[in-house]
Amino acid sequence: MEEPKVSPKPLRLFYFWSGIIATFAYRAIIVLNNAIWIKVFWYVGTIGFIIYFIHRFDISKKRSKLIVEHKLREKMDSLDHLTDDDKKALRYILGTLVSSKEKWNNYAIFILSGIALILGILFDFILKI
């Protein structure tokens, strides 16, 4: 198996700032008075969340796959240089990474944001409602 690699720093920063800008854009909508700016901030926020949460889903999926493929939870007990507390901590981390609903939460946010974006484009640019 090829060694998993961390994404390049510029790409990680892109995902980070996509999430920050999306969050800011959604929060700013509440104080905007101009319909055009509300739509601009809504689109920026929605697109940012799509980018950010598909990235988070991908990371969760990769982590879970590595833990399962390499049977890391099963191999915990053979790590004699770790204390029992270390093993409990690692067992908890590995177990929750595999069973976490985080990836489904990220997937749901990605799908719902995509649907909202499609409907926004439909209503704003095609049907002009």
- Sequence ranges of the domains in the chain: 9-126
Query: Which region among 10-14, 15-19, 85-89 has the lowest average model confidence (pLDDT)?
Result: 85-89
Token pair recorded at residue 56: 């988070």
pLDDT of 60-94, one tens digit each? 999 999 999 999 988 887 888 889 999 899 989 99
CB neighbour class for 123 (10 Å; exposed up to 12, middle 13-18, buried from 19): exposed
Alpha-helical runs (H) found in 29-101: 35-69, 72-75, 84-99
Tell me, what's the pLDDT at 56?
93
Q: How many CB atoms lie within 10 A of CB 52?
A: 24
Tell me, what's the pLDDT at 76?
83
Eight-state DSSP code of residue 126: I
Tell me, what's the pLDDT at 99?
85
Q: How confident is the model at residue 108 (pLDDT cuts 50, 70, 90)?
A: very high
pTM of the model: 0.84
CA neighbor of 121 nearest in space, from 129, 107, 109:
129
- Give CA angle at 47 (44, 53), nearest 5°: 130
